[in-house]
Structure 1
Amino acid sequence: MEWTFSADVFAWGEDGPSWRFLRLPLDVADEVRDLAGEPAGFGSVRVHARIGQTVFATSVFPEKASGSYLLPVKKSVREREGIDDGDRVTVRLDVAS
Protein backbone atom coordinates (compact mmCIF):
# COMPACT_ATOMS: atom_id res chain seq x y z
CA MET A 1 0.00 0.00 0.00
CA GLU A 2 1.29 3.46 -0.85
CA TRP A 3 0.29 6.89 0.45
CA THR A 4 0.96 10.34 -0.96
CA PHE A 5 0.64 13.37 1.29
CA SER A 6 2.11 16.80 1.91
CA ALA A 7 3.64 17.92 5.20
CA ASP A 8 5.88 20.65 6.61
CA VAL A 9 9.53 20.03 7.46
CA PHE A 10 10.45 20.94 11.03
CA ALA A 11 13.52 20.76 13.25
CA TRP A 12 13.61 18.70 16.44
CA GLY A 13 16.16 19.65 19.05
CA GLU A 14 17.53 22.94 20.22
CA ASP A 15 21.24 22.31 20.87
CA GLY A 16 23.69 21.39 18.16
CA PRO A 17 22.61 19.76 14.93
CA SER A 18 18.88 19.17 14.87
CA TRP A 19 17.00 16.37 13.21
CA ARG A 20 14.44 17.23 10.56
CA PHE A 21 11.08 15.50 10.36
CA LEU A 22 7.70 15.43 8.69
CA ARG A 23 4.57 14.47 10.63
CA LEU A 24 2.34 11.96 8.89
CA PRO A 25 -1.33 12.93 8.60
CA LEU A 26 -3.38 11.04 11.21
CA ASP A 27 -5.32 9.02 8.65
CA VAL A 28 -2.07 7.84 7.05
CA ALA A 29 -0.56 7.10 10.49
CA ASP A 30 -3.59 4.98 11.41
CA GLU A 31 -3.29 2.95 8.21
CA VAL A 32 0.48 2.50 8.66
CA ARG A 33 -0.12 1.32 12.24
CA ASP A 34 -2.79 -1.15 11.09
CA LEU A 35 -0.63 -2.50 8.28
CA ALA A 36 2.54 -2.77 10.38
CA GLY A 37 0.96 -4.91 13.09
CA GLU A 38 3.11 -5.56 16.19
CA PRO A 39 5.51 -2.67 16.69
CA ALA A 40 9.27 -3.26 16.71
CA GLY A 41 11.74 -1.51 18.98
CA PHE A 42 10.30 1.81 20.02
CA GLY A 43 7.23 1.28 17.87
CA SER A 44 9.10 2.24 14.71
CA VAL A 45 7.95 1.01 11.32
CA ARG A 46 10.33 0.52 8.39
CA VAL A 47 9.30 2.44 5.29
CA HIS A 48 10.40 3.55 1.85
CA ALA A 49 9.87 7.23 1.09
CA ARG A 50 10.13 9.38 -2.00
CA ILE A 51 10.50 13.14 -1.95
CA GLY A 52 10.93 14.67 -5.38
CA GLN A 53 13.28 12.36 -7.28
CA THR A 54 14.93 10.98 -4.14
CA VAL A 55 13.93 7.55 -2.80
CA PHE A 56 15.22 6.43 0.59
CA ALA A 57 14.69 3.75 3.23
CA THR A 58 14.14 4.77 6.85
CA SER A 59 11.71 4.20 9.71
CA VAL A 60 8.83 6.28 11.02
CA PHE A 61 8.67 6.76 14.77
CA PRO A 62 5.54 7.18 16.92
CA GLU A 63 4.90 10.60 18.42
CA LYS A 64 2.78 10.39 21.56
CA ALA A 65 1.72 14.04 21.55
CA SER A 66 0.04 13.89 18.13
CA GLY A 67 -0.77 10.18 17.92
CA SER A 68 0.98 10.15 14.55
CA TYR A 69 4.37 9.10 13.25
CA LEU A 70 7.42 11.22 12.45
CA LEU A 71 9.35 10.64 9.25
CA PRO A 72 13.02 11.69 9.50
CA VAL A 73 14.29 13.55 6.44
CA LYS A 74 18.00 12.89 5.97
CA LYS A 75 20.38 15.75 5.30
CA SER A 76 21.37 14.20 1.97
CA VAL A 77 17.71 14.17 0.89
CA ARG A 78 17.18 17.79 1.98
CA GLU A 79 20.28 18.93 0.12
CA ARG A 80 19.47 16.97 -3.05
CA GLU A 81 15.89 18.27 -3.13
CA GLY A 82 16.64 21.83 -1.91
CA ILE A 83 14.47 21.47 1.21
CA ASP A 84 14.65 23.97 4.08
CA ASP A 85 12.95 24.11 7.47
CA GLY A 86 9.30 25.07 7.10
CA ASP A 87 9.04 23.89 3.50
CA ARG A 88 5.95 21.90 2.57
CA VAL A 89 6.92 18.78 0.64
CA THR A 90 5.02 15.97 -1.00
CA VAL A 91 5.93 12.45 0.11
CA ARG A 92 5.16 9.03 -1.32
CA LEU A 93 5.42 6.45 1.44
CA ASP A 94 5.04 2.69 1.69
CA VAL A 95 5.70 0.20 4.47
CA ALA A 96 8.79 -1.92 3.76
CA SER A 97 8.18 -5.63 3.54
Structure 2
Amino acid sequence: MDVVFTGLVIEWRGPSPFHFVAVPEEQAADIREVAATATYGWGVVPVEADIGGTVFTTSLFPKDGGYLLPLKKAVRTARGLLAGDDVTVRMTVRLQG
Protein backbone atom coordinates (compact mmCIF):
# COMPACT_ATOMS: atom_id res chain seq x y z
CA MET A 1 0.00 0.00 0.00
CA ASP A 2 1.48 3.34 -1.09
CA VAL A 3 0.74 6.63 0.68
CA VAL A 4 1.85 10.21 -0.05
CA PHE A 5 1.33 13.10 2.36
CA THR A 6 2.79 16.38 3.56
CA GLY A 7 3.21 17.23 7.22
CA LEU A 8 5.22 19.13 9.81
CA VAL A 9 8.28 17.76 11.53
CA ILE A 10 7.50 17.72 15.24
CA GLU A 11 9.85 17.15 18.16
CA TRP A 12 8.92 15.13 21.21
CA ARG A 13 11.17 15.88 24.16
CA GLY A 14 11.37 12.94 26.47
CA PRO A 15 14.35 11.31 28.08
CA SER A 16 15.84 11.51 24.60
CA PRO A 17 14.34 13.69 21.85
CA PHE A 18 12.53 12.12 18.91
CA HIS A 19 11.27 13.70 15.71
CA PHE A 20 8.13 12.62 13.89
CA VAL A 21 5.75 13.54 11.10
CA ALA A 22 2.08 12.92 11.88
CA VAL A 23 0.25 10.98 9.17
CA PRO A 24 -2.86 13.01 8.19
CA GLU A 25 -6.25 11.51 9.13
CA GLU A 26 -7.23 10.56 5.56
CA GLN A 27 -4.07 8.49 5.05
CA ALA A 28 -4.17 7.16 8.62
CA ALA A 29 -7.69 5.83 7.97
CA ASP A 30 -6.40 3.98 4.88
CA ILE A 31 -3.52 2.53 6.91
CA ARG A 32 -5.88 1.41 9.70
CA GLU A 33 -7.77 -0.66 7.11
CA VAL A 34 -4.67 -2.78 6.41
CA ALA A 35 -2.87 -2.45 9.75
CA ALA A 36 -3.87 -5.93 10.94
CA THR A 37 -2.06 -7.48 7.97
CA ALA A 38 0.99 -5.26 8.42
CA THR A 39 1.66 -4.93 12.15
CA TYR A 40 4.09 -7.22 13.91
CA GLY A 41 2.90 -6.25 17.38
CA TRP A 42 2.11 -3.30 19.67
CA GLY A 43 0.20 -1.68 16.80
CA VAL A 44 3.36 -0.50 15.03
CA VAL A 45 3.19 -0.69 11.24
CA PRO A 46 6.38 -1.34 9.20
CA VAL A 47 6.98 1.08 6.33
CA GLU A 48 9.55 2.16 3.80
CA ALA A 49 9.56 5.95 3.51
CA ASP A 50 11.13 8.40 1.08
CA ILE A 51 11.70 12.06 1.90
CA GLY A 52 13.33 14.00 -0.92
CA GLY A 53 15.15 10.93 -2.23
CA THR A 54 16.34 9.74 1.18
CA VAL A 55 14.83 6.28 1.60
CA PHE A 56 14.61 4.56 4.98
CA THR A 57 12.73 1.81 6.78
CA THR A 58 10.98 2.29 10.10
CA SER A 59 7.65 1.59 11.76
CA LEU A 60 4.73 3.94 12.30
CA PHE A 61 3.83 4.50 15.95
CA PRO A 62 0.11 4.46 16.79
CA LYS A 63 -0.95 7.69 18.54
CA ASP A 64 -4.48 8.84 19.42
CA GLY A 65 -6.09 6.83 16.61
CA GLY A 66 -3.54 8.02 14.05
CA TYR A 67 0.11 7.33 13.30
CA LEU A 68 3.46 9.07 13.73
CA LEU A 69 6.34 8.49 11.31
CA PRO A 70 9.64 8.56 13.24
CA LEU A 71 12.44 10.47 11.53
CA LYS A 72 15.86 9.00 12.13
CA LYS A 73 18.71 11.43 12.77
CA ALA A 74 20.43 10.25 9.57
CA VAL A 75 17.34 11.22 7.56
CA ARG A 76 16.98 14.61 9.25
CA THR A 77 20.67 15.33 8.72
CA ALA A 78 20.66 14.21 5.07
CA ARG A 79 17.63 16.41 4.29
CA GLY A 80 18.52 19.28 6.66
CA LEU A 81 15.21 18.87 8.51
CA LEU A 82 14.31 20.72 11.69
CA ALA A 83 11.20 20.80 13.86
CA GLY A 84 8.57 22.93 12.14
CA ASP A 85 9.67 22.08 8.60
CA ASP A 86 7.08 20.91 6.05
CA VAL A 87 8.01 17.61 4.40
CA THR A 88 6.45 15.48 1.69
CA VAL A 89 6.59 11.78 2.47
CA ARG A 90 6.18 8.91 0.02
CA MET A 91 5.62 5.76 2.02
CA THR A 92 4.91 2.09 1.40
CA VAL A 93 3.24 0.05 4.13
CA ARG A 94 5.05 -3.29 4.20
CA LEU A 95 2.28 -5.87 4.39
CA GLN A 96 3.13 -9.23 5.95
CA GLY A 97 2.84 -11.99 3.47
Give TM-score scaled by structure 2 length: 0.89
Number of equivalences: 94
Over residues 33-72 of structure 1, what are the superposed CA-to-partner deviations in whole Å (9 max), with x where a residue is unaligned? 11222543220000010000100010001102xx210000
Distance in structure 2 (CA, Å) of the matches to 1:75 and 1:41:
24
Between the aligned residues of both structures, percent identity stands at 43
Q: Which runs of 4+ in 1 moved over 6 A?
A: none
Aligned partner letter, 2:3: W
Q: Write the mapping of 1:14-93 to structure 2, written as runs, cut at 5 A.
A: 14-15=14-15, 17-37=16-36, 39-64=39-64, 67-93=65-91
Read off the aligned partner of 1:50 and give its amino acid letter: D
Q: Name stretches of at least 5 consecutive residues in structure 1 with no aligned partner.
A: none
The 3 A distance-change label for structure 1 pair 45 and 6 is same
Structure 2, unmatched stretches of 5+, are: none
Secondary structure at the counterpart of residue 5 of structure 2? strand
Question: Counterparts of 1:54 and 1:37 in 2: how far apart (Å)?
Answer: 27
Amino acid across the alignment from 1:58 = T
